[in-house]
A = this chain, B = another copy of it.
Amino acid sequence: MKEVLPVFNSAVSIDCVLFGFDGGELKILLIERNEEPFKDWWALPGNLVGVNESLDQSALRILHELTGLSDIYMEQYYTFGEVNRHPQGRVITVAYYAMLRLGGDKALKPLTSYAKRAQWINVKDLPKLGFDHQHIFDKGLEKIKRRIKHLPIAFELLPEKFTLTQVQHVYELILGKKLDKRNFRKKILSFGVLKELDEKQKGVSFRAATLYKFDKRKYAKLFGKAISF
Residues of A within 8 A of B (CB): 1-12, 48-49, 51-56, 58, 76, 78-83, 89-90, 92, 94, 146, 224, 226, 228
- Residues of B with C-beta under 8 A to A92: 12, 49, 55, 92, 94
Docked pose: A194 CA to B76 CA in angstroms: 35
- Residues of B with C-beta under 8 A to A58: 81
- Residues of B with C-beta under 8 A to A80: 55
- Residues of B with C-beta under 8 A to A79: 55, 76, 79, 94
Pairs A-B, 4 closest by C-beta atoms: A55-B81, A79-B79, A1-B3, A7-B11
Number of copies: 2
Q: Are B76 and A78 closer than 8 Å at their CB atoms?
A: yes
- Residues of B with C-beta under 8 A to A94: 79, 81, 92
Q: Are B10 and A1 closer than 8 Å at their CB atoms?
A: no
**Please, could you name 29 A-B residue pairs with CB atoms under 8 Å apart, sorted by A?**
A1-B3, A1-B5, A2-B3, A3-B3, A4-B4, A4-B8, A5-B89, A8-B10, A8-B11, A8-B89, A8-B90, A9-B51, A10-B10, A10-B11, A10-B51, A53-B83, A54-B81, A54-B82, A55-B79, A55-B81, A56-B81, A58-B81, A76-B78, A79-B79, A79-B94, A92-B94, A146-B224, A226-B226, A226-B228
A4 to chain B, nearest CB (A): 6
A17 to chain B, nearest CB (A): 15
A176 to chain B, nearest CB (A): 14
- Residues of B with C-beta under 8 A to A90: 8, 51
Docked pose: A58 CA to B79 CA in angstroms: 13
Docked pose: A82 CA to B49 CA in angstroms: 11
